[in-house]
Structure 1
Amino acid sequence: MVEKTPTVYDVAEMAGVSIATVSRYFRNPDAVRESTRERVGQVVRDLGYVPSGSARGLAARRTGTVGVCFPSFDDVDRIDARRLGAGPPVRVRVDTDAHQDTGSDLYIAEVVRGTEIEAWRHGFAVMIAVPRGAAAHNVVEGLAGRVDGLVTLARAIDPDQLAHISRRIPVVMVAGPRDGDVYDHVTANNHGGMVALTDHLITEHRLTRLEFVGGPEDSPDAQVRFEGFTEAMLLAGLGVPERPIARSDFTRVGGRETGRLLLAERRLEGIDGLVCANDQSALGILDELTAAGVRVPQDLAVTGFDGIEASNVSTPRLSTVRQPMVELGRLAVAQLLRRLAEPMTEPSTRVLGVEVLLRDSCGAHATSTP
């Protein structure tokens, strides 16, 4: 005989609370008094009650899920699919490649962690998608159809498709705004941070022949950082380059490719500093400079932007601008939930502060006072 499936009414009756309290217990547990929360939780476990997500969604026209979409920064195309299901291989070898990695982007990981924390605080789940290749459009559409709102990083979604999606669900961009867009934005002080870092190189280390390694051309944050770099150069009365000396794709692997190109084409001759658009690019370039016998910072200063953990353990330690990556993710979800509650408010842009970290790669040391 099949037992009757417990309902929310059963939970409320046995716990001695209202149905609304049971709903709050699942949707926003922090809003329920601790003693009540423990009592409801015990009844839920005793009954084996599982809330119906579909029923809640129909009643509130909500899914209880936040979508997160970010661009692909990995080497997935190089993965050999034949390895799947072929049995676990065991390899033993002498590791001579100190720079081998998966190309993962730690900035994105921290932002996503922030979205998960804030969504959890409000009783929401997070659904993540990384659109790639020919199926990218369908992946994004599938995500948009399953969530209440979307947090996305710059360049993750085609602009036309994003505009179409934003007519159905709210969108928050983790990046600075472009002219004319209508989304909410959460970003860091990219311009001010880069001005301050570049000014330090000029005024404290007397570096006057600086060049900028940019990010992808369609990255708004990379563009703003380049503008901050050029502003500091202009204020110091130095020559301002019209464009970056090179561009990378924001990955360490891409940074190494950029470093090899700069060395092979002898474009670093006569330069005393490279200001990079992000840490991963800077670390990749640093790998190649070290392999080529270029001393950092004695021969060439190198700086980054983001403040990922790898920048603190590199050799030499990388001078950088730390942005609050977890807080960016948290604020993006908080803004998304506000937009769900107040859909008619004007789009807003929130800018978070940054911290310039002076380390060995620019000639400063951890014990020095900025």
Structure 2
Amino acid sequence: MATNIRDVAKAAGVSVATVSKVLNGYTTVSQKTKERVLRIVKETRFQPNAAARALVGRRSMTLGIYLTTGLTHPFFASILSGMELALKAKGYDLIYLSQLTFNKDYSFVRHCQSRNVEGVVIFGFQEDDAYFKELLESGLPSIFIDMDIVGQRAGYISSDNVDAMCHSISYLRELKHRRIAFIAGIVESYVGRLRYDGYKKGLEIAGLPFREDYVAHSIFTRESGYSAMNSLLELPPAERPTAVVCCSDMCAIGAIDAIRDAGLSVPGDISVIGFDDIELARNVTPALTTIRQDMIAMGRKAVELLDELIVDEMFASPTAIVPTELIVRDTCAPAKEE
């Protein structure tokens, strides 16, 4: 039984560095050598630990994550759960990074380097942010969530937002709805823009007209969903939408609150569809019909793509679009006869 990496290198007839590259997933080792090293590892039942891999391979085996929304947001709690699965499988640790904006000499890239992270998962940088440009130019492996950013050492992962919205409109059309409104998110954002485009495309496919007064804006929160729904309820009763598609579950829950406070019912008077399928969606009354994002898969894939960027310098601009699923619960019903 091999007790350290040097025993494996000696048995395989290769250098310690070569064994380290094989164990860390580098693609610069020939397939023949890789197979020989892995055979020796199996035969000797060698089990490398993260510290040894980092020491010999000069790797920290540490990734960073930066979130503007905070770690407790329902969406990113699930993203982190998915990341955890891949982190364990690949032997990485994860640290939370924050912007130290109180320091006038602050550099996000230097901050990453001081924490010795090999790559970062990012959500929330604005493209006009100086830190964003610095990060892309630095060559530090980066994966962006819900931002269509590609670069020499950067890529992104997102749900299929357009298809999800089209699916929502199609479902409501099957229920005979013709007056379908949309509570949009921040349309300047990547997901906000795609969901807005998906709404318009879905209407077109369904043969329904697009109406500007059927679009109310929010910032993805319950409070903004409530306010947006109230603006739609100000339309004359004969013009009032019979269904509303929302940019997030929290917006949808706020919309349901507003509909109830107006003396109307869900889904009796107005059907509602959310987006995300956070845990609260199945626990509200009535249970929320929504678009499920596979947030576990997104988190896992983010780590896998970042690992590819780290171990293979030729692996450039990775992207992944994750399919969504319409989850039918209790907030949609056939439209009333007009």
Shorter-normalised TM-score: what interval? 0.7 to 0.9
1:87-106 map, 5 Å: 104-106=72-74
What amino acid is the match of 1:194?
Answer: M
Alignment RMSD (CA, Å): 3.7
Per the alignment, in what secondary structure is the counterpart of residue 175 of structure 2? coil
Aligned partner of 1:185 among 132, 156, 159: 156
Q: Structure 2 vs 1, CA of residues 155 and 363 (structure 1 numbering), >3 Å: closer, same or farther?
A: farther
- Deviation at 1:231? 0.8
Q: Structure 2 vs 1, CA of residues 350 and 131 (structure 1 numbering), >3 Å: closer, same or farther?
A: same
Quote the Cα distance in structure 2 between the aligned partners of 1:192 and 1:343. Answer: 33
Quote the Cα distance in structure 1 between the aligned partners of 2:178 and 2:103. Answer: 47
Note if contact 2:4-2:46 (Cα within 8 Å) is conserved in structure 1.
no
Note if contact 1:127-1:143 (Cα within 8 Å) is conserved in structure 2.
no
Note if contact 1:208-1:272 (Cα within 8 Å) is conserved in structure 2.
yes
Q: Which residue of 2 aligns with 1:125?
A: 93
Provide, for residues 200-239 of structure 1, a one-character-per-residue CA deviation record: whole Å limited to 9, x for no partner: 101x211111111111233211211111111111122221
Quote the Cα distance in structure 2 between the aligned partners of 1:34 and 1:159. Answer: 52
Aligned partner of 1:72 among 69, 73, 81: 69
Q: Structure 2 vs 1, CA of residues 139 and 321 (structure 1 numbering), >3 Å: closer, same or farther?
A: farther
What amino acid is the match of 1:301?
Answer: S
Quote the Cα distance in structure 2 between the aligned partners of 1:212 and 1:136. Answer: 42
Q: Structure 2 vs 1, CA of residues 130 and 234 (structure 1 numbering), >3 Å: closer, same or farther?
A: farther
Aligned residue-pair number = 307
Q: Structure 2 vs 1, CA of residues 62 and 37 (structure 1 numbering), >3 Å: closer, same or farther?
A: closer
Question: What is the TM-score of this pair, normalised by structure 1?
Answer: 0.70
1:349 maps to 2:319: yes
Quote the Cα distance in structure 1 between the aligned partners of 2:68 and 2:306. Answer: 20
Note if contact 2:232-2:241 (Cα within 8 Å) is conserved in structure 1.
no
Per the alignment, in what secondary structure is the counterpart of residue 344 of structure 1? coil
Q: Structure 2 vs 1, CA of residues 246 and 201 (structure 1 numbering), >3 Å: closer, same or farther?
A: same
Q: More deviation in 312-321 or 180-189? A: 180-189
Note if contact 2:151-2:316 (Cα within 8 Å) is conserved in structure 1.
no
Quote the Cα distance in structure 1 between the aligned partners of 2:103 and 2:70. Answer: 17
Aligned partner of 1:211 among 177, 181, 197: 181
What amino acid is the match of 1:217?
Answer: V
Q: Which residue of 2 aligns with 1:113?
A: 81
Q: Structure 2 vs 1, CA of residues 16 and 181 (structure 1 numbering), >3 Å: closer, same or farther?
A: closer
Provide, for residues 280-324 of structure 1, a one-character-per-residue CA deviation record: whole Å limited to 9, x for no partner: 211122223223332011111111111212111211111111111
Q: Structure 2 vs 1, CA of residues 334 and 227 (structure 1 numbering), >3 Å: closer, same or farther?
A: same
Note if contact 1:71-1:153 (Cα within 8 Å) is conserved in structure 2.
yes
Aligned-residue identity in percent: 25
What amino acid is the match of 1:327?
Answer: A
Per the alignment, in what secondary structure is the counterpart of residue 156 of structure 2? strand
Q: Structure 2 vs 1, CA of residues 37 and 344 (structure 1 numbering), >3 Å: closer, same or farther?
A: closer
Per the alignment, in what secondary structure is the counterpart of residue 222 of structure 1? helix
1:317 maps to 2:314: no
Quote the Cα distance in structure 2 between the aligned partners of 1:158 and 1:316. Answer: 41
What amino acid is the match of 1:338?
Answer: E
Note if contact 1:131-1:156 (Cα within 8 Å) is conserved in structure 2.
no
Quote the Cα distance in structure 2 between the aligned partners of 1:268 and 1:67. Answer: 51
Q: Structure 2 vs 1, CA of residues 322 and 72 (structure 1 numbering), >3 Å: closer, same or farther?
A: same
Question: What is the TM-score of this pair, normalised by structure 2?
Answer: 0.76
What amino acid is the match of 1:69?
Answer: Y
Per the alignment, in what secondary structure is the counterpart of residue 119 of structure 1? helix
What amino acid is the match of 1:171?
Answer: S
Q: Structure 2 vs 1, CA of residues 73 and 133 (structure 1 numbering), >3 Å: closer, same or farther?
A: farther
Q: Which residue of 2 aligns with 1:232?
A: 202
1:363 maps to 2:333: yes
- Deviation at 1:16? 7.7
What amino acid is the match of 1:185?
Answer: Y
Q: Which residue of 1 aligns with 2:29?
A: none
Q: Which residue of 1 aligns with 2:307?
A: 337
Q: Structure 2 vs 1, CA of residues 161 and 133 (structure 1 numbering), >3 Å: closer, same or farther?
A: closer
Per the alignment, in what secondary structure is the counterpart of residue 203 of structure 2? helix
- Deviation at 1:27? 7.1
Provide, for residues 61-107 of structure 1, a one-character-per-residue CA deviation record: whole Å limited to 9, x for no partner: 53211111122269xxxxxxxxxxxxxxxxxxxxxxxxxxxxx5211
- Deviation at 1:192? 0.9
Note if contact 2:136-2:151 (Cα within 8 Å) is conserved in structure 1.
no
Quote the Cα distance in structure 2 between the aligned partners of 1:171 and 1:213. Answer: 31
Structure 1, unpaired ranges of 5+: 1-10, 42-49, 75-103, 365-370
Quote the Cα distance in structure 2 between the aligned partners of 1:73 and 1:249. Answer: 16
Per the alignment, in what secondary structure is the counterpart of residue 164 of structure 1? helix
Aligned partner of 1:222 among 192, 195, 214: 192
